[in-house]
Each structure stands twice: as C-alpha cells, then as structure tokens.
Structure 1
Amino acid sequence: MTTSVSDVPVRAAISAIVAAHRGHRGALLPILHAIQAELGHVPQECVALLADELNLSRADVHGVVSFYHDFRREPAGRTTVRICRAEACQALGADALVACVRDRVGLAPGETAADGSVTVEQVFCLGNCALGPSIQVNDVLHGRVNVERLRSILDEAVSP
C-alpha cells in the first residue's frame, strides 16, 4: 500500500502534525517522527510539503530524512527485525545474525518482503551493548542472541 499526501486523510494528518509543532524551534525532527508514528513511514511527497510549511529548502528536509536511518520512505512489514551492527555487537557475532536472517527469511538489511510480512533493518546501537549481539523484533529487545536463538525468535515472530 502506498501512502500519498494527495490523499485527504493523509494530508490532514500531516497538516495537524505540523500545526502542533509550528513555532517550536527545531520542529522538523519532531514533525518527522510524528509523521512516521502516524503513517508508518515518511512519504517522499512530504518533503516538498514540509519544506513549504516550515520555510525550509527541499534539500534541507530531504537531507534530514535521508540522514537518519530511523525514517522509512516506505511502510515497514508487519514484523520488523532490527539487527545491531555497532562495534560491541559486531565483535560478538552480528555478521552471523545478518547471514541467518538472510537465509531464514530471504532478506538483507534494508529490505521488506514483497508480501509485507517482514522488514529487516540494521541499526548502529540498540543500547544493549553489555548483552550483545542484540536484535529487536517489533518492540521487543533481545540480548545475547546467537544463530540458534535467532532462528527460534524468527520462527515465532514471522509465523502466520
């Protein structure tokens, strides 16, 4: 499903979010987070709309959206698997987890299954360094994840 800011409900939601933050210093980031929370992603068409609303250049808005990995340009799958690739988790086997996810669900970081069931993301810290390697499945954080445990977590999370 594609979300378009030309859809009246979507445009109304974005306008309400902008209005709630208008006048706040540094409003772009909170607005982008609120749009993603509301829509599940930040549609590309938002860039021009936000630039106009906030008196910013399109390049400024695009730069922020593309710089922060947390902002999605397309809707995520029903299940989101985030693999920490920061130094502590890398040292403890994050590469093996990426390979496991690729083998188990056929996706590399940054990809979403065609049926919308799963999105795989890499992140550069989940704040769980002492228990690395770490993953997050939807909103549940898992530490000390090895390949065997990851297979079990994926089987449970992705099963219909």
Structure 2
Amino acid sequence: MHQATPWDAARAEAIVCQHAGLEGPMLPILHALQHEFGHVDEAAAPLIAKSLNLTRAEVHGVITFYNDFRREPAGRHILKLCRGEACQSMGSEALARDFLGKLGIDWHGSTPDGELTVEPVYCLGLCACSPAALLDDEVIGRLDAESLAEAVDAVRA
C-alpha cells in the first residue's frame, strides 16, 4: 500500500498545477492529491477552484459526491467491503455489521490505532465470489467472519 505523506500546501499546489492543463482536470487532480496525501484536505478546494476558475462550492460538490475521495486521513490499511446486491444476498450486510461492531467503528471509520479504515463499495464486479472485499487493493472473495478477520489480522501484524 502506498504510504501517504502529510498534507503540504506547496506540494498540493504543484499537483494541481501539474494537472490543470488536462482536459477535464478535476478528477485527475483529486485522485493525485488523494494518492499523495491519503485524503483530499479541505484546503485543496480553494487551490483547485482558483486554478480551474470554479467556485469552491463546485469543487466541494465533486469531492463529496464521489465516495472514493476521503476528506480525512485514512488508516494505514484500507478495507473496502462490497455492499452490492449479489454480496448482500450472500450475507455481506450482517458480516459488515458484525465486523464493524467488533472494531467499534462505523463505515468510513478508522480503528483507534490508525491501522485500518473500513469503507463501503457498491460493486467490485466479483459477484460470483461474493461476499467480496478489497484489502489494500487485494481482492478477497467468498468472505466469512473467520476469513475476513484472518485477512485483516495478517496485514495489521
């Protein structure tokens, strides 16, 4: 997993400038910022707005519309649990509810030690292997409580 760097306004401005000349630059800018810093800091909205001649509200609207953009730093490991219909039919909702309960967090939350953030995703395209998840961009299929706990414990160790 890519280790994010702390927010740096000068580096963020360089990223915005680097992508500003692209056609439809806002999403590439947001992805690049999140890749670099692990989230899109609220200080990014004015930078992007100024560079692209947009309002802060327009930029904020895009950031908040897409579930993939985090506004706060994530944990060291990211678990994305599928909430699509096929996974739901195979028990993903109960699995997620129990797992989140054991961690003491909710969706988009991070464990107190900063090791794990759990996010919903609405289809991984792994319907034949449901319930499914991504853990640090690695696919995990046919999840149950035991296999989910083992996979998370393995990366947190």
Common fold: TM-score over 0.5: yes
Residue 60 of structure 1, aligned match among 58, 61, 79:
58
- Aligned-pair Cα RMSD in Å: 1.7
How far, CA to CA, are the matches of 2:154 and 2:6 in structure 1? Answer: 29
Residue 78 of structure 2 contacts residue 136 of structure 2 at CA under 8 Å; is this kept in 1?
yes
What residue is the counterpart of 1:74 in the other structure?
72
Moved more, 98-107 or 138-147: 98-107
How far, CA to CA, are the matches of 1:12 and 1:149 in structure 2? Answer: 43
How far, CA to CA, are the matches of 1:120 and 1:35 in structure 2? Answer: 20
Quote how far apart the aligned CAs of 1:153 are. 1.6
How far, CA to CA, are the matches of 1:19 and 1:38 in structure 2? Answer: 14
How far, CA to CA, are the matches of 1:91 and 1:60 in structure 2? Answer: 37
Q: Give the counterpart letter for 1:42 in structure 2.
A: V
What residue is the counterpart of 1:128 in the other structure?
126
Moved more, 10-19 or 54-63: 10-19
Aligned residue pairs total 153
Mapping 1:1-160, distance limit 5 Å: 4=7, 10-159=8-157
Over 4 Å off, 4+ runs: none
TM-score (norm 1): 0.88
Gaps of 5+ in 2: none
Q: Give the counterpart letter for 1:58 in structure 2.
A: R
